[in-house]
Structure 1
Amino acid sequence: MEVPYRFFRIITPLQNHNSRLMLPGSFVNDWRHQLDDTIQITAYDGIIVTIQLERDNGRIYFADGWEQFFDHHNLQDAHVLVFEYNGNSIFNMTIFDHYGLEITYDSDVPEEHNVSHTNNPAFEITLTPHQNSHREICISGQFSRYHLPRGLRSVQIHDSLHHDWELATNLRPNSLIRRMTIG
């Protein structure tokens, strides 16, 4: 079998993919002999992340380092991750949203609205028409973990057009806020 070899995984709430991700059995059967104890994944942003593999009863999981990768790329339920194995324990990954559109998190926000001009903790989201009719905002688990108190029921945001919005928060089972809804 020649590399590259591709497989996909779908993020589902029941499988707790944010802490570890199981590689498909057929991939493990074909490539287990080539996989080191750590692998490298490169996503759209070009950042190379090293992730520890966990072996358990013939299964192989992305483990230590996966949660940080998951949070950094703001992976959500129903996202599809396409992995391309290039040999030597190196993977490229492409992320697709629940509409099947590739996610790149590019920003075309003008410099004067760039969130880096504030002293407060901030993150930037560019809404597009395919994102739930703009009624739901998904935020980074890392931002939630470090900047939002547990049990928070609502927040007020201020957009680039100087509108204020009251948003209800939806807590994940681990009490992290990952989604906010308008209305």
Structure 2
Amino acid sequence: MSEPEKTEPGGPRIPIRQLDPRSLRGLAHPLRIRLLAALRHHGPATASQLADRLGESSGATSYHLRQLASHGFVEDAPERGKGRERWWRAVHQGTSWDPSLFEDEDPGTRGAVNVFLHEIATLHAQELNTWIGTMRDWPGEWASSADLSDFTLRLSARQLRELDEKVHAVINGYRDVEPDEDATKVRLHLHAFPQRSD
């Protein structure tokens, strides 16, 4: 079942799933997170196709797709299926947090938060390493246009939230831009976190 669309700051309406303790526990498994990411990034697929892409057995992908479906993250894509072939698609194109998840004292929820965040960080690192390993396969203008930067600022929690909202607004503003003829899919990662000074 699809949730209502939400407006990202400065951007058009895109379907976003807000995680609560129950849905987070349903998603917080490394393979489920990778399956959902693959469906979001590459579009509908069968369990066998996803197994090939992720180096897993089709039995494992099939089981975890059904678990994702029971929590409303994926659904059938019947228009793609032929015969007994079952196609799956992501219900939402993004995920947002209920801030209370970080304060939840339930051990199951705390463990799910850790699994989810570590797996997302791993996926981001894998995507970045793939780009670094293959960037010479791209025309030179792509290598010079891509970015791998880091910054250190002194901010309060309020200022960090404000900065995040402004950066998200700039990024989402590009959803409505008419793509150039040579446009391709571009991934952007945003990491912002406090660090002790000692």
Fold shared by both chains (TM-score > 0.5) = no
Q: TM-score, normalised on structure 1?
A: 0.27
More strand by share: 1
More helix by share: 2
Q: TM-score, normalised on structure 2?
A: 0.26
Flag the structure with more relative contact order, 1 or 2, with Cα contacts below 8 A and sequence separation at least 6.
2
